[in-house]
Amino acid sequence: MSKYKIRVPFINYIKTRSLQISLIIMLFSNVIAYSNNIFKGVVLDYNDKPIKNATIEINISNESTFTNESGYFEFDNIPYDTLILKISAYGFESVEFTAQKEEKNIIVLSLRLLELKSVLVQGNRFATLRNYAAQKVSLTSFEVYTSPTAFGDLIGALRLSPGAQSSENDGRLYIRGGVPDESKVFVNEMMVFNPYTLKQRNVSTRSRFSPFLYQGISLQSGGYEANYGQALSGVLSMKTIDNIESRTDINITSVGVSSGISVNKKSSSQMYFGIDYTNLFPYGTIFKDSYKWNKYFNNLSGEFYGKFKLSKKVSVKSYLNISSSSVDYSYINIDSLQYSNNLSENYLWGQITVEYQQNKNLFWFFGSNFINSEFSGTDVNQLSDNVTTKIKFNNNKSYFRYSINNFIFTSGFESIFTGYNQNYYYKDNYLMSFDNFLLAHFYNIEYNINDNTSMSLGLRGEYSLLMQKHNIAPRFYLAKNLKKNSIISLSLGWYYQDPQNDYLKFNKQLDFENTFGSTLSYVYALKKSKFQLDIYYKKYNDLTTFNLEDFRPTLIENKGFGYACGADIFYKGNINNFEYIVSYSHVNSKRIYQNFSNYRFPALLSPNALKFDGKYWISQIKSLIGISYFIDSGSYSYFNDPTSTIKSPFRNNMNLDISYLPKRNLIIHASIRNIFGQKNVYGYEYSRINNDYIPINTPSTRFYYIGIFLTISKYNKRNQLESF
């Protein structure tokens, strides 16, 4: 079987979907055309002695292997004549090497004293003990595309991660008993404001990111370094790709069209230009749902990504994303009132980062981004209301990292600016605005105690000019390699974040919300399998509370508190041509916050959730079959006071994908979401005139998708999948 497999996206927002399936092309191409290509070699030190357990990673796919006692390694079924390999080993400098097929490639590594012993922690990748690695869950873009659970959505793929949940009528991540605003997304270490596309009522939203452009995707829910802030429950850290091959991608699907052009000029400059148009009118005309559509969801977006190597020591990455979305639909609520959601959003995101490796010990980072978001809508909170919200966001960060012997010291500064302006009309006109400028300074010391033990101490301080409040957040991490393939780790730390903008616009004198978190993790992994067990506890303080008067918050304060505790189990395995993931999460989370005076379980979060995701390659028909299934114990719903608490019944869902490769550079993909049409309940809608309530469901029970994905390259033997 080929090392590559595929899968595809799901709902309204095909931006990732178009890239996704095309990527499947390579999957089959590898299997069909180049099954006999072999790359082999040996890794030696300067005394010509073999280096055992060196990691050999293919740059364009993140596939990896290890050298044996003789320093020998081998890759087979590779569809190239040359490969760029990344070689790393404990005690030696990492290098990149261009390998030739069918030749014995000899790689010589030079000594280094800084790296700690590595251990395999997930599938075909490895991670060191240091830098919270043992508590990260990492995915490649390839895994995002091939996961039936993800439907091509980068953040959606993380639903399989330990402790992460996401409901089908929302789409955002709930991490270890927290709510969605407690997790933040970082691209190349810069915070991204509003990472989700335009949200519709009871329809799962998607992320803005094209998985094609990312090579490292990590969810940190146990703990994270001091250079990450403003997140109580989790950090999604992503790194853009370093290598782009020249080609053109053309995608036609049941919900839109897209195209991308990649340009590589001798590796000194690499650029990608993409455009995507999504319109659900054709699909919605055929497959009806419970809404009345005046204008189906549509989105036009374009993006640019560039990596420029200015010298051997300096590299620059830049990114630009522009999108415009709109939708207009109406529905009847429980009290027989017709709501009309006429929604639109314009989004601009630009970012640049600079990395400077001054010498082997000293590294510098500089980054800045700017985001402008404009949203307008009707009947958003109340019947006959009208809202226009404009937000300007800017994040600047700089730090240096100095390594010497077994110590790594990091220090840096960060600023985050949020300019908020909202015009809200309901019976009267309300103008609300603020400028929030946050300053932060962070330090981190990593100490490799020995080959099997690593420790990290972090400290982050923040000051808000708007709230005139400050915080100090110490963090601690310890990891130990118990055996060859197992790690145990512990993280402790304090984490702070601003109250939501919807609260700050009413009260600018609030304080930071905060939590103390602790996580104990155990990981055991082999080359094609991984087991992980996490036990955690979080204590919340200074959560935002308020009273409701005519459905408008008043008396907004920081009087809330609560806790979350639980356990997560994750297993990834591979049997012949069948790769699968099984995960289970149990969480007990109670808090007093918002307008509740008694402990409540966060809405949409389920106490128990079991998830399965599997892919099977059938070479006889050149197809990859993907299937996913989840079941949970239901969630809680509230209205005005805790006495109205109702728990929904258990929920389950099964999805099916099939991807077929008739030619090397062509993919045909089809998928069905919720095969059996299960009508899951995601809470309850309560009447405002009596004691009635009705279940909340998604407007459609199934979603069907089909796409054709074509890649044009020099010899028409390339495809999007090869980038992974």
Q: Which amino acid is at 554?
A: T
Name which of 703, 707, 696 is nearest 12 in CA terms: 703
Q: Is the dihedral of CA 65, 68, 70, 74 positive or negative?
A: negative
Measure the CA–CA gap between 207 and 15, rounded to whole angstroms: 9
Which pair of structure tokens corresponds to residue 394? 């800017």
Tens-place pLDDT, residues 27-71:
344 333 334 568 888 888 756 778 887 888 886 665 778 888 888
Measure the CA–CA gap between 355 and 414, rounded to whole angstroms: 16
pLDDT at 679: 92
Measure the CA–CA gap between 599 and 601, rounded to whole angstroms: 7
Between helix 15-22 and helix 24-33 the angle, nearest 10°, is 0
Measure the CA–CA gap between 201 and 86, rounded to whole angstroms: 46
HEC string of 579-641 equals EEEEEEEEEEEEEECECCCCCECCCCCCCEEEEEEEEEEEHHHCEEEEEEEEEECCCEEEECE
Measure the CA–CA gap between 83 and 105, rounded to whole angstroms: 11
- 579-585 mean pLDDT: 91
Q: pLDDT-based confidence at 113, cuts 50/70/90?
A: very low
Q: What is the pTM of this model?
A: 0.82
Cβ atoms of 8 and 17 within 8 Å: the answer is yes
Q: pLDDT-based confidence at 569, cuts 50/70/90?
A: very high
Tens-place pLDDT, residues 596-622:
888 888 888 899 999 999 988 888 888
Q: How far is CA 14 from CA 19, 122, 322, 609, in A?
A: 9, 29, 15, 27
Mean pLDDT of the chain: 84
Q: pLDDT-based confidence at 91, cuts 50/70/90?
A: low
pLDDT at 712: 87
Measure the CA–CA gap between 507 and 322, rounded to whole angstroms: 32
Q: Residue 78: is its pLDDT beyond 80? A: no
Q: Which amino acid is at 280?
A: L
pLDDT at 500: 95
Tens-place pLDDT, residues 229-279:
999 998 988 888 887 878 898 999 999 999 999 998 776 789 999 999 999
CA-based R_g, the chain, Å: 25
- 114-141 mean pLDDT: 46
HEC string of 626-660 equals EEEEEEECCCEEEECEEEEEEECCCEEEEEEEEEE
Domain ranges of the chain: 15-28+134-723, 29-126
Which pair of structure tokens corresponds to residue 112? 């280094």
pLDDT at 126: 30
Measure the CA–CA gap between 321 and 306, rounded to whole angstroms: 12
Superfamily of domain 29-126: Carboxypeptidase-like, regulatory domain (2.60.40.1120)
pLDDT at 420: 97
Q: Is the dihedral of CA 544, 548, 549, 551 positive or negative?
A: positive
Name which of 529, 620, 513 is nearest 582 in CA terms: 529
Strand ranges, E, within 172-313: 174-175, 183-187, 190-192, 214-220, 234-240, 247-253, 256-265, 269-279, 292-309
The SS3 call for residue 417 is strand
- 369-381 mean pLDDT: 95
Measure the CA–CA gap between 436 and 101, rounded to whole angstroms: 56
Q: How far is CA 313 from CA 40, 523, 685, in A?
A: 30, 36, 58
| Cβ contacts of 718 within 8 Å, gap of 6 or more | 26, 245, 247, 665, 711
Q: Which amino acid is at 207?
A: S
- What b/e string do you get for 332-369 counting C-beta neighbours within 10 Å, with b at 16 or more? eeeeeeebebbbbbbbebebbbbbbeeeeeebbbbbbb
Strand 256-265 to 552-575 pairing: unpaired
Q: Which amino acid is at 160?
A: L
Domain spanning 15-28+134-723, CATH class: mainly beta
Q: Which residue has 């529905």 as its token pair?
A: 331
**Bridge partner residues of 624 (DSSP):** 617, 659
Cβ atoms of 19 and 304 within 8 Å: the answer is no
pLDDT at 61: 60
Query: What length is written for the chain?
Result: 724
Measured between its terminal Cα atoms, the distance across the chain in Å is: 17
| Cβ contacts of 469 within 8 Å, gap of 6 or more | 463, 511, 512
DSSP annotation of 172 reads S
| Greatest pairwise CA separation for the chain in angstroms | 84
Cβ atoms of 147 and 657 within 8 Å: the answer is no
Q: Residue 124: is its pLDDT beyond 70? A: no
Percent of the chain with pLDDT over 70: 85
Which pair of structure tokens corresponds to residue 181? 């605003």
